[in-house]
C-alpha cells in the first residue's frame, strides 16, 4: 500500500482555506448580511436563465477567492478541456467520458480513437425519433395488430433512475394516451405490480442496459418475455413487443431481441450520465423527439457555459466549490437536495446515484488513498413534504446540512394560490435557515420561560437557491447538466476518478455465489462467516416447498 498523497491537503490553496476557515467558522450569516446591504444581489450568478443565489452561505469574498484558487490549483481548466476533447480521463477503464457528446451540435466534431463520434450520436437520435414517431402515432403495431398503449422500461441504476426521473420531470409535456411504467428491482413484486393490469398485445418493453449483463434487468426482462409469450403465444411477438437499448449487440441478440430493434450507445457514456442517450428512449416516446431535442439543447447550452465561463461566474464550478467548503472544511457529511416542484420528485434519487456512485471513492487517480473526505451523502425530498418530515433536524439538530433549494417562478399547473403558497414556503425556509430566531426574538413573542430554549433557532445553516422561470425540457436539461458538471468539478479537486464504480462489484460477485445455495433442496455446505451462514440456513429452513 502506498502512502497517502499529500498533494491536496498540503497544498497552498488548501492550507489557506484551512486558516481562513478557523477565522470565519463562527461568523453568523446574520452579521454578514447586516454588514453588506448588497450581499443578496452580489453573491449570485445567472446563466442561461438559471439564477443561483449563494449569498446564504457561510462565506465572505475572501472565501470565494480562496476556493477559486483551489479550483485553479487543481488543474480544473485542463481537465475540463480533456473531457470535452475526448481524452480517456476514465483512467481505470481507459475510456473517454463524453456524455457531452450526446448533446453536441451536428456540426461539432469529437474524435475518439480516430473516429468522430458526433455523426453516430445523431444517427442514433434520428433512428430513435423515427421509431418514437411510429409508436406515438399508433403506426407501430403489436403482434395482434393493436397499437401500443403502455411502455414498460426495464433497467436499473442509470438505466432506470435517469429515465424515470426525466419522464416524471417532463410529464407535463408527455403524450397522455400512452402510459409509462418503470421496473428496476429484482424483487418480483416490481414487475408483477407493473404488468398485472396490462394487455401484452398493447405493451412495449424497453430493455435498457448498457452492458446487457445486469442480473436484475436480465431477470426482469426474461420474466416479462415469459408473460408476453404466455399471452401472445407466438415467438414472433417478441420482435413487436421488445426493443433493447444497449452497447452490447451480441447479448441483445442472445436474449432474442432483433438487433434491428436495438438502439445503441457507447462505452464512453457512463450509466449515470446516460438518460440523454438511447437510454432515454422511454422519455422520447413520452415527450416526442422535438421536445427531447429541446432538452438536449438545454444540456448543450450548460456544457458550453461550463466549458467557457470564467470560474467566478461558472454555475457548476460555484456549486462544486461551495460543496467542498462544507464537506472538507466544516466536516459536513451530507447535502440535501430540495426541489420545490412536484415534477422533480425523483430528482434527489437520481442525483444520489450521479453524485454518490461518481464520487464515493477512497483512492485517488494515482492509486493512493485519499487524505480528505470525498463525496457527500446526497438525500432529500420535494418541498413541502420534507418540511413536515425531516426539516426539524436541519433547523435544530446538531448536524450541519447544506441544502440546495430548487424552485420555479411559474407553475405548470395553475391552481388557485397553490404556487404562491409553495414558493412562500420555499423563500421562508432559506430565510429561516440562514437567520434563525434569537432568544430576544423568541421572548418578544411572549413565549413562556421554560419553552424559550426550545424555540430558539440558531440559524447559520447554509443554502443555495436555484430559481428558474419555468420547468421546460430546455431548462430541465440545463439543470441536469449543471449537476453533472458540479460532480465532475468536485471529483477533479479531490483527484479521484468520478467515472468508474468498482465498489458495486463485490456484492454482485458474492450474490452470484449465494444463488445456488438458496435453490430448493440445496444442501450445499455453507462456507461464509458464521453470521451469513446462519442467515442463509434460516432462509433455507423457512422456504416453502
Ligand atoms: O451496478 C452499478 C451499475 O453498473 C450502474 O453504474 C449502472 O447504471 C447500473 O449498474 C446498470 O447497468 P446496466 O445499464 O449495464 O444494466
What tens digit of pLDDT does each residue of 506-520 get?
999 999 999 999 998
> What is the distance in A from the centroid of ligand 1 to the CA of 214?
7
pLDDT at 141 over 80: yes
pLDDT at 383 over 90: no
475-501 pLDDT per residue, tens: 999 999 999 999 999 999 999 999 999
> Percent of the chain having pLDDT more than 70?
99
pLDDT, residue 6, reads 56
> What is the distance in A from the centroid of ligand 1 to the CA of 210?
7
Q: Which atom of ligand 1 is nearest to the CA of 501?
A: 6
Q: Which atom of ligand 1 is nearest to the CA of 161?
A: 8
Run of H or E residues at 478: helix 473-494
Q: How far is CA 285 from CA 133, 167, 265, 391, in A?
A: 8, 10, 17, 37
Q: How far is CA 84 from CA 97, 288, 496, in A?
A: 8, 28, 18
Cα-trace Rg, the chain: 25
Residue 349 and residue 162: Cα distance in Å, rounded? Answer: 9
> What is the distance in A from the centroid of ligand 1 to the CA of 208?
10
Residue among 90, 93, 154, 157 to mutate when testing ligand 1 (max atoms within 8 A of CB): 157
**Are 191 and 183 in contact, with CB atoms under 8 Å apart?**
yes
pLDDT, residue 521, reads 84
pLDDT at 132 over 80: yes
CA-nearest residue, atom 5 of ligand 1: 157
> What is the distance in A from the centroid of ligand 1 to the CA of 309?
32
104-119 pLDDT per residue, tens: 999 999 999 999 999 9
173-191 pLDDT per residue, tens: 999 999 999 999 999 999 9
| ipTM exceeding cut-off 0.95 for this assembly | yes
pLDDT, residue 4, reads 46
Q: Which atom of ligand 1 is nearest to the CA of 279?
A: 14
Listed in sequence order, the residues at least 6 apart from 417 whose beta carbon sits closer than 8 Å to its beta carbon are none
CA-nearest residue, atom 10 of ligand 1: 157
pLDDT, residue 3, reads 45
Averaged pLDDT, 120-139: 98
pLDDT, residue 316, reads 99
Confidence of residue 1 (pLDDT cuts 50, 70, 90): very low
pLDDT at 163 over 90: yes
Residue among 99, 153, 156, 164 to mutate when testing ligand 1 (max atoms within 8 A of CB): 156
Q: Which atom of ligand 1 is nearest to the CA of 156?
A: 11
> Percent of the chain having pLDDT more than 90?
97
Confidence of residue 2 (pLDDT cuts 50, 70, 90): very low
Q: Which atom of ligand 1 is nearest to the CA of 271?
A: 8
Averaged pLDDT, 411-436: 98
Residue 105 and residue 103: Cα distance in Å, rounded? Answer: 6
Residue among 92, 158, 186, 506 to mutate when testing ligand 1 (max atoms within 8 A of CB): 158
User: Could you list the active site residues?
Assistant: 357, 388, 508
> What is the distance in A from the centroid of ligand 1 to the CA of 155?
8
pLDDT, residue 520, reads 81
Residue among 338, 337, 348, 314 nearest 489 (CA)? 314
pLDDT, residue 315, reads 99
> What is the distance in A from the centroid of ligand 1 to the CA of 462?
33
347-371 pLDDT per residue, tens: 999 999 999 999 999 999 999 999 9
Residue among 164, 185, 210 to mutate when testing ligand 1 (max atoms within 8 A of CB): 210
Confidence of residue 45 (pLDDT cuts 50, 70, 90): very high
CA-nearest residue, atom 16 of ligand 1: 209
At 136, give phi and psi (nearest 5°): -65, -30
CA-nearest residue, atom 8 of ligand 1: 158
Q: Which atom of ligand 1 is nearest to the CA of 504?
A: 1
- Torsion sign across C-alpha atoms 386, 163, 351, 317: negative
CA dihedral 525, 527, 532, 536 (to 10 degrees): -10
Residue 365 and residue 457: Cα distance in Å, rounded? Answer: 42
Averaged pLDDT, 223-230: 98
DSSP 310-354: -GGG-HHHHHHHHHHIIIIIS---EEEEEESSGGGTTHHHHHHHH
> What is the distance in A from the centroid of ligand 1 to the CA of 343?
25
> What is the distance in A from the centroid of ligand 1 to the CA of 167?
19
Pocket of ligand 1 (CB under 6 A): 156-159, 209-211, 214, 217, 271-272, 357, 501, 504
> What is the distance in A from the centroid of ligand 1 to the CA of 371?
28
Amino acid at each position: 500500500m502506498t502512502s497517502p498523497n499529500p498533494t491536496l491537503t498540503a497544498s497552498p490553496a488548501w492550507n489557506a482555506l484551512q486558516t481562513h476557515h478557523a477565522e470565519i467558522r463562527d461568523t453568523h450569516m446574520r452579521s454578514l448580511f447586516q454588514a453588506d446591504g448588497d450581499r443578496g444581489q452580489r453573491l449570485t450568478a445567472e446563466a442561461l436563465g438559471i439564477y443561483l443565489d449563494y449569498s446564504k452561505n457561510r462565506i465572505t469574498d475572501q472565501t470565494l477567492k480562496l476556493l477559486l484558487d483551489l479550483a485553479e490549483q487543481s488543474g480544473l481548466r485542463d481537465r475540463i478541456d480533456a473531457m470535452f476533447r475526448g481524452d480517456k480521463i476514465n483512467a481505470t477503464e481507459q475510456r473517454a467520458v463524453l456524455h457531452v457528446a450526446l448533446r453536441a451540435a451536428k456540426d461539432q466534431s469529437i474524435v475518439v480513437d480516430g473516429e468522430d463520434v458526433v455523426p453516430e450520436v445523431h444517427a442514433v437520435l434520428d433512428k430513435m425519433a423515427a421509431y418514437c414517431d411510429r409508436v406515438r402515432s399508433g403506426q407501430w403495431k403489436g403482434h395482434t395488430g393493436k397499437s401500443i398503449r403502455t411502455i414498460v422500461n426495464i433497467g436499473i441504476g442509470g438505466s432506470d433512475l435517469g429515465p424515470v426521473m426525466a419522464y416524471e420531470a417532463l410529464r407535463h409535456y408527455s403524450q397522455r394516451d400512452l402510459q409509462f411504467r418503470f421496473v428496476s428491482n429484482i424483487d418480483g413484486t416490481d414487475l408483477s405490480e407493473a404488468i398485472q393490469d396490462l394487455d401484452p398485445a398493447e405493451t412495449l418493453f424497453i430493455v435498457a442496459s448498457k452492458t446487457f449483463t445486469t442480473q436484475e434487468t436480465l431477470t426482469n426482462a426474461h420474466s416479462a418475455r415469459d408473460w408476453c409469450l404466455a399471452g401472445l403465444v407466438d415467438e414472433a411477438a417478441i420482435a413487436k413487443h421488445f426493443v433493447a437499448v444497449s452497447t452490447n449487440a451480441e447479448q441483445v441478440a442472445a436474449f432474442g431481441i432483433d438487433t434491428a430493434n436495438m438502439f445503441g450507445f457507447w462505452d464512453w457514456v457512463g450509466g449515470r450520465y446516460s438518460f440523454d442517450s438511447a437510454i432515454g428512449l422511454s422519455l422520447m416516446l413520452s415527450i416526442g423527439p422535438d421536445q427531447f431535442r429541446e432538452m438536449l439543447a438545454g444540456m448543450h447550452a450548460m456544457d458550453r457555459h461550463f466549458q467557457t465561463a470564467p470560474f467566478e461566474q461558472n454555475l457548476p464550478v460555484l456549486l462544486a466549490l461551495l460543496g467542498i467548503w462544507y464537506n472538507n472544511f466544516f466536516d459536513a457529511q451530507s447535502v440535501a437536495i430540495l426541489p420545490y416542484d412536484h415534477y422533480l420528485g425523483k430528482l434527489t434519487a437520481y442525483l444520489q446515484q450521479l453524485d454518490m456512485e461518481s464520487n464515493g471513492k477512497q483512492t485517488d487517480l494515482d492509486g493512493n488513498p485519499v487524505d480528505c473526505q470525498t463525496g457527500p451523502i446526497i438525500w432529500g425530498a420535494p418541498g413541502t413534504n420534507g418540511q413536515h418530515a425531516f426539516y426539524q433536524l436541519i433547523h435544530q439538530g446538531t448536524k450541519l446540512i447544506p441544502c440546495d433549494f430548487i424552485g420555479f417562478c411559474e407553475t405548470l399547473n395553475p391552481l388557485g394560490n397553490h404556487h404562491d403558497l409553495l414558493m412562500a414556503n420555499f423563500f421562508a425556509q432559506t430565510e429561516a435557515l440562514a437567520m434563525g430566531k434569537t432568544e430576544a426574538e423568541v421572548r418578544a413573542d411572549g413565549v413562556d420561560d421554560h419553552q424559550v430554549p426550545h424555540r430558539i433557532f440558531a440559524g447559520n445553516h447554509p443554502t443555495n437557491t436555484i430559481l428558474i422561470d419555468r420547468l421546460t425540457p430546455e431548462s430541465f436539461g440545463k439543470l441536469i447538466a449543471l449537476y453533472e458538471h458540479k460532480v465532475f468539478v468536485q471529483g477533479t479537486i479531490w483527484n479521484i476518478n468520478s467515472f468508474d464504480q468498482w465498489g458495486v462489484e463485490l456484492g454482485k460477485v458474492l450474490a452470484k455465489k449465494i444463488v445456488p445455495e438458496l435453490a430448493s433442496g440445496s444442501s450445499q455446505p455453507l462456507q461464509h462467516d458464521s453470521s451469513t451462514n446462519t442467515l442463509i440456513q434460516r432462509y433455507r429452513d423457512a422456504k416453502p416447498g
